[in-house]
């Protein structure tokens, strides 16, 4: 029985896509300087005053990006961004620093 479990763990680990391991692995704290919203999609781009100047996996580090976030979480994150922008308060962003789950801009996973 122990051998079956071990074999099952090895098989599942081997078959797991590396993108499943991608995601939130770093934090940055800064002041929101720009928020861009698109009417034709569920995408928000935003920029911090200390935005990273490069990113190993994304073609552009110009913005952080929120995409494919389901409601109501999308609305909560967007509201938090706007509140930080209006108040000038520094916020903490959780993001993917490796970029293995990158579309074009740096994927943001948490806004705190």
Residue-wise pLDDT for 31-49, tens only, equals 999 999 988 887 899 999 9
Structure tokens at 23: 């995601």
Residue 63's nearest CA partner among 27, 97, 106, 101 is 106
Residue-wise pLDDT for 66-79, tens only, equals 888 888 888 999 99
- Residue ranges of domains in the chain, CATH in brackets: 22-111 (2.40.50)
| pTM of the full structure | 0.74
DSSP state of 103: S
Structure tokens at 107: 């994927």
């Amino acid at each position: 029985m122990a051998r079956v479990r071990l074999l099952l763990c090895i098989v599942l680990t081997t078959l797991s896509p590396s993108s499943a391991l991608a995601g939130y692995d770093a934090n940055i704290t800064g002041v929101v300087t720009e928020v861009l919203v698109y009417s034709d999609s569920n995408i928000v781009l935003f920029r911090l005053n200390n935005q990273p100047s490069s990113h190993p996996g994304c073609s552009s580090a110009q913005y952080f990006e929120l995409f494919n976030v389901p409601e109501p979480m999308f609305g909560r994150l967007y509201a938090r961004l706007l509140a930080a922008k209006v108040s000038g308060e520094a916020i903490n962003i959780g993001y993917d620093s490796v970029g293995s789950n990158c579309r074009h801009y740096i994927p943001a996973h948490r806004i705190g």
